[in-house]
Amino acid sequence: MTHRLSAELRDSDLFGALSPPDRERLRSLFHHRSFRSGQVIFLKGDQGFGLYLIRSGRVKISVVDRDGTELIFTYLSSGDLLGDIAILDGRPRSATAIATEDTAMLYLERGEFLSFLRSSPQACIDIIGMLCQRLRRVSRQLEELSFLDVAGRIARKLIDSVSEPSAGASGSRRSATLAITQEELASVIGASRIMVNKVLNSFVELGLISTARKRLTVLDATGLNRIASYDGDE
**Cα–Cα dist 23/4, whole Å:** 13
Domain count, the chain: 2
**Cα–Cα dist 134/140, whole Å:** 10
What confidence score (pLDDT) does residue 145 get? 62
Cβ atoms of 73 and 188 closer than 8 Å: yes
Over 60: is that where the pLDDT of 90 sits?
Answer: yes
pLDDT-based confidence at residue 34 (cuts at 50, 70, 90): very high
Asked if 172 and 127 sit in the same domain, the reply is no
For 50-73, the pLDDT digits (tens) are 999 999 999 999 998 888 888 888
Element (H, E) at 171: none
Cβ atoms of 11 and 79 closer than 8 Å: yes
Helix ranges, the chain (H): 2-11, 20-27, 84-89, 110-118, 121-147, 150-163, 182-189, 193-205, 221-227
Asked if 93 and 48 sit in the same domain, the reply is yes
Asked if 44 and 72 sit in the same domain, the reply is yes
101 to 47, 54, 64, 77, 122: CA distances (angstroms): 24, 12, 20, 10, 37
Asked if 107 and 182 sit in the same domain, the reply is no
Boundary (domain end) residue, out of 132, 158, 192: 132
For 167-182, the pLDDT digits (tens) are 444 443 344 788 788 8
Domain of 13, in residue numbers: 2-132
223: domain CATH number is 1.10.10.10
Instruction: Return left, alpha or beta for 227; rule: phi > 0 is left, psi -120 to 50 is alpha, else beta.
Output: alpha
Asked if 152 and 80 sit in the same domain, the reply is no
What confidence score (pLDDT) does residue 212 get? 83
Residue 40 makes CB contacts below 8 A (sequence gap 6+) with 96, 97, 98
11: domain CATH number is 2.60.120.10
User: What does the chain come to in residues?
Assistant: 234
What confidence score (pLDDT) does residue 198 get? 92
Over 80: is that where the pLDDT of 31 sits?
Answer: yes
Residue 174 makes CB contacts below 8 A (sequence gap 6+) with none
